[in-house]
Amino acid sequence: MDDTFDFSSFGISRRETPLSQPSSSFNSTPILAATPARAPSSNASPKTLRRSLTGSSGGLKLSDFSILGKLGEGGFGTVLLARLKSTGALCAIKLLLKQCMTTTMHAERVLREARTMMDTQHPFIVTLHGAFQDEQYVYFVLEYMGGGDLFAQMQWRVGDGQGLPEEQVRLIAAEIALALDKLHRHGYMYRDLKPENVLVSSDGHLKLADFG
Contact partners, residue 142, CB within 8 Å, separation at least 6: 79, 91, 92, 93, 94, 126, 127, 128, 129, 209
What single letter denotes the amino acid at residue 169?
Answer: V
Number of H helices, E strands in the chain: 4, 7
* Distance between start and end Cα atoms, the chain: 23
What single letter denotes the amino acid at residue 98?
Answer: K
Q: Which of 2, 160, 192, 210 is catalytic?
A: 192
Q: Clarify whether 192 is annotated catalytic.
A: yes
Q: Reduced to 3 states, what is the DSSP secondary structure of residue 17?
A: coil
Check: CB of residue 94 under 8 Å from CB of residue 130: no
Catalytic residue numbers, as ranges? 192
